[in-house]
Amino acid sequence: MPDQELCLEALSVLCGCKVESTSGASQLTPQDFVNVVALREFYKQEGFKKLEYPSIGTMSLEEDADMYSAPLALADGSGESLQHTVKINPQEFFHSQYDYDFTNIRDGDKKFLRGNEKYIRPCGWNRVALRVLQKYSDGDSWLGTGNDAWPVSYQGKRMDGSLGIILSHDGPPNDEPSFLEAGCASLVREETRGRGVYSTPDIKMAETYCKTFTSKVDGKNYKVLLQNRINPKNRKTCNREDIWLVYIPDGRNDVQTRAIVQESLRPYGLLLKQA
């Protein structure tokens, strides 16, 4: 496992809160963590400036806030801080037994499957495993390699609605009338407007949207991503290759929105790579 403080910095960058260790109970589970990361990006797409999350409170959605600078204040001038310190117990949050360093691994033509779908391993990255085994009522098959496993999905901090709309059309984009008609139709159909949480099965694409930070531990620059599993029943394919969307219908309240994310994305790895 990389330096624990470095991992906490990476978590801070992803979730927008300053994450510190504690020997007591964690404020966030790994599932809570991916919920926060996903909801932050979604609510920013919707034009909100703040996010409420249980056990944390009100968080600022201001872009690229420095987690180690002076806290942001509420827009109403009240002086109340929106930048929170979140405590996690590393023993509860990380699962070092399953860490895997892909830094010097190159897969070449090797093929891997998860849930009978192509798995592009995070070669070049160092994966810190999250403690997610035996945490879900439906068991651990979602995390396996069999038919019931969920496909692998990578999530970057800057993956949002600019990545593309969903198309109700089979095959890659082209200039055929049927494709163009489908594209036009997708602009007016509510379920194809791309409202929701974006991720990708392609680690190289995810890297282009990842967050980079300078560590106070060693002064080096690092890239950071989340490695998740995505519920194949809850994803939609966008018109841009290798982009997946968890669609959130309009009119859902905060609790319903959080439930959709929680039923669709499950984290299992924090990925770090020296920039």
Of the candidates 29, 6, 9, the residue with the CA atom closest to the CA atom of residue 19: 9
Q: What is the pLDDT of residue 165?
A: 52
Q: 């290798």: which residue's tokens? A: 242
Confidence of residue 186 (pLDDT cuts 50, 70, 90): very low
pLDDT at 167 over 80: no
pLDDT at 205 over 80: yes
Q: Report residue 222 as tokens.
A: 């690092």
Q: What is the pLDDT of residue 162?
A: 57
Residue range 9-27: mean pLDDT, rounded: 93
> How is 95-109 classified by DSSP, letter by letter?
-GGG-EE-TT---TT
The residues, ordered by sequence, that sit 6+ positions from 259 with a Cβ below 8 Å of its Cβ are: none
Determine what percent of the chain is predicted with pLDDT higher than 70: 78
Q: What's the whole-number average pLDDT of the chain? A: 84
Dist CA 149 CA 147 (whole Å) = 6
pLDDT at 11 over 60: yes
Dist CA 9 CA 221 (whole Å) = 11
pLDDT at 166 over 80: no
Per-residue pLDDT of 221-243, as tens digits, reads 999 999 999 999 999 877 777 88
Q: In this structure, are residues 185 and 168 in contact, taking their beta carbons and an 8 Å threshold?
A: yes
Residue range 120-145: mean pLDDT, rounded: 97
